[in-house]
C-alpha cells in the first residue's frame, strides 16, 4: 500500500502538522519506524499478535523530567506492518499513521491511554 519511503514521509508530515504548542515542545525524542514490534515487546505488553501494536512510546514523560544533564532520548516507534495490514485504502492508512503518531506523542506529554486515544482523534 505504501512503500517504506512513503510511510516515512507520512510520519514526518504528521509530526510537522502538530499544533505549534506541541511541536515546539517535543524534546529529546527519537522517532523510529520498524516493521513489527519485537517478541519481547509483545510479551511485555501482553499482546498476542505481531499485528496488535501500532506504536510504542518509551521514556519519561515531559511533565516528570528533571534537569539532570544529558539523558538518552525517549523513543517513539511506529510499527509499519501492523498499520498497513489494518487498513483497506490508502486514505484510511494515512489517517491511521497520523493517529498513531499523535497517540504516541500524547504519551510523551504525559497522557494516559484514554487521554492519548482522545488526543489522536483531534
Question: Domain coordinates of the chain in residue numbers?
Answer: 4-120
Q: 4-120: what fold? A: Zincin-like (3.30.2010)
Instruction: Give CA–CA dist 103/11, Å, rounded.
Output: 12
Does residue 72 carry a pLDDT above 80?
no
Does residue 70 carry a pLDDT above 80?
no
Tell me, what's the pLDDT at 22? 79
Does residue 68 carry a pLDDT above 90?
no
Of 73, 76, 83, 66, nearest in space to 106 by CA? 76
Amino acid at each position: 500500500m505504501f512503500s517504506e519511503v512513503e510511510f516515512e514521509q507520512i510520519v514526518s508530515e504528521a509530526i510537522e502538522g502538530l499544533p505549534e504548542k506541541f511541536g515546539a515542545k517535543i524534546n529529546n525524542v527519537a522517532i523510529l519506524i520498524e516493521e513489527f514490534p519485537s517478541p519481547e515487546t509483545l510479551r511485555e505488553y501482553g499482546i498476542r499478535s505481531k499485528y496488535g501494536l501500532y506504536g510504542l512510546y518509551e521514556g519519561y514523560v515531559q511533565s516528570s523530567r528533571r534537569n539532570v544533564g544529558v539523558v538518552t532520548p525517549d523513543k517513539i516507534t511506529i510499527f509499519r506492518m501492523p498499520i498497513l495490514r489494518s487498513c483497506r485504502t490508502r486514505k484510511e492508512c494515512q489517517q491511521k499513521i497520523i493517529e498513531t503518531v499523535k497517540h504516541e506523542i500524547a504519551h510523551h506529554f504525559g497522557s494516559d491511554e484514554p487521554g492519548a486515544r482522545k488526543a489522536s482523534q483531534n
